[in-house]
Amino acid sequence: MSNTDKKDLEKAPKIAIDARMVNKSGIGTCIQHWLKDVGYSIALGDPKELEPYSNIPKHIRFISSIYGYKEQLKFPYQALYRENPDILHVPHCNVPLFYRGKMLVTIHDLTHLVYPEFLPFKLVHYYFKFIFWFVSKRADKIITVSESTKRDLLRFYKMDESKITVIPLGVGKEFVKKSPAEIDYLYDKFNIPRDKKILLYVGNLLPHKNLNMLLEGFAQMQGRENCRLVLVGKAFDGRSKETCEKDLGIEEFTIHAGMVSQEDLVNFYNIADLFVLPSLYEGFGLPVLESLACGTPVVCSNTSSLPEVGGKVAKYFDPQDASSIARALENSIDDKGKHDDEIAEWVSHFTWEACAQKIKAQLGALYKE
């Protein structure tokens, strides 16, 4: 090997990332941390949204809706080719179909294939079926955020398993235990009774989130009159109590907090006695880690990736059985503070720094291929 070749191998690769979803929930949280820690040279997206990331030398304008033909037509192929990156990191399945450079693709979940009955149109199912197939053939390396997602990918597509690496996500440093004085304001701000146990749900109303089954389980819970179920998320902004809550007789026991600030979210995790996630399917399940990091016990579904994220410190239920949910709530509502050391030790395994280092390792390996 010549000296020139050795220098080429030693230099840092020039990596681009499609960062359009930086301000979205879920994947956006991942992109925000990756932009800070991975060491990208180029970021594609809205220049205004990328302004906070001055550590990335080059920003390429790419404004388009996601998951559709428009993003393919608007992808800045020429601008990216001029920058000549060694690798393009696509943080979800919506890869540019006509890009010819090396690609690392992160797959978070295959919800659209696992639960096609929840999609509004068959065309959506066919779109995602094709795009995941394309990724399985076209990506040089694939990252999945859980073993569950990896299994799903291999179940639906014949591909080389060695091309897939599982890299768990992390939990933000803002998710920490707070003193009672720091979180006390939430009671008045959201009209929460101070003498009741607080059950917390954070999420939306998508069918696979399974909220109605949680409501049924809560309705069956013994001692629910001493609890309040607080529902946090944009879906609950200005949303009146649905007939489901009225019919179940739990209208007075539920509180719709709506969309909250990041600070309020951290404090909600702290003020809660128990966090509950009834999803039928999650690619990872960040709220489980976020709640645990704040010292609040978790009960969640025993499906998909959630047992990986909750480990032995969370408790589980059958998300399709309301009585199973009710029993889990009853058996865990008084658990706060009982297993703090075990919870803290478990959460310490999930850091964004470790996630970024593992992504860098995959990028480095791909660069040398």
User: Could you say which of 3.10.105.10, 3.40.50.2000, 3.40.50.2300, 3.40.630.30 is the CATH number of the domain covering 180-347?
Assistant: 3.40.50.2000
pLDDT digits 0-9 by tens, 135-144: 999 999 999 9
Confidence band of 241 (pLDDT split at 50, 70, 90): low
Alpha-carbon gap, residue 178 to 270, rounded angstroms? 6
Structure token digits, residue 236:
């609950």
Contact assessment for residue 132 and residue 157, using Cβ atoms and an 8 Å cutoff: yes
CB count within 10 Å of CB 192 equals 16
Q: What is the pLDDT of residues 260-271, one digit of tens each?
A: 999 999 999 999
Predicted pLDDT at 67: 86
Q: Provide the pLDDT for residue 349.
A: 95
Q: Is the pLDDT of residue 6 over 60?
A: no
The mean-pLDDT minimum among 39-53, 210-224, 243-257 falls in 243-257
Assigned token pair, 51 = 């302004």
CA angle, 28 as apex, 71 and 136 as ends, to 5°? 55
pLDDT of residue 65: 86
HEC letters along the chain: CCHHHHHHHHCCCCEEEECCCCCCCCHHHHHHHHHHHCCCCEEEECHHHHCCCCCCCEEEECCCCCCCHHHHHHCCHHHHHHHCCCEEEECCCCCCCCCCCEEEEEECCCHHHHCHHHCCCHHHHHHHHHHHHHHHHHCCEEEECCHHHHHHHHHHCCCCHHHEEECCCCCCCCCCCCCHHHHCHHHHHCCCCCCCEEEEEECCCCHHHCHHHHHHHHHHCCCHHHEEEEEECHHHCCCCCCHHHHHCCCHHHEEEEECCCHHHHHHHHHHCCEEEECCCCCCCCHHHHHHHHCCCCEEEECCCCHHHHHCCCCEEECCCCHHHHHHHHHHHCCCCCCCHHHHHHHHCCCCHHHHHHHHHHHHHHHHHC
Please give the CATH architecture assigned to the domain spanning 3-170+351-368.
Answer: 3-Layer(aba) Sandwich (3.40)
CA distances from 89 to 53, 158, 261, 315 (A): 17, 22, 29, 35
Give the span between the Cα atoms of 39 and 36, in whole angstroms: 7
- 122-138 and 147-156 helices, crossing angle to 10°: 100
Summarised one tens digit per residue, pLDDT across range 85-118 is 999 999 999 999 999 999 999 999 999 999 998 8
pTM: 0.91
Task: Identify the pLDDT of residue 4.
Answer: 47
Q: What percentage of residues in the chain have a pLDDT greater than 90?
A: 85
Q: Are 298 and 315 in contact (CB under 8 A)?
A: yes
Q: Where in the chain is the domain with CATH 3.40.50.2000?
A: 3-170+351-368, 180-347
66 or 60, higher pLDDT: 60
Pull the structure tokens for residue 329: 């709530």
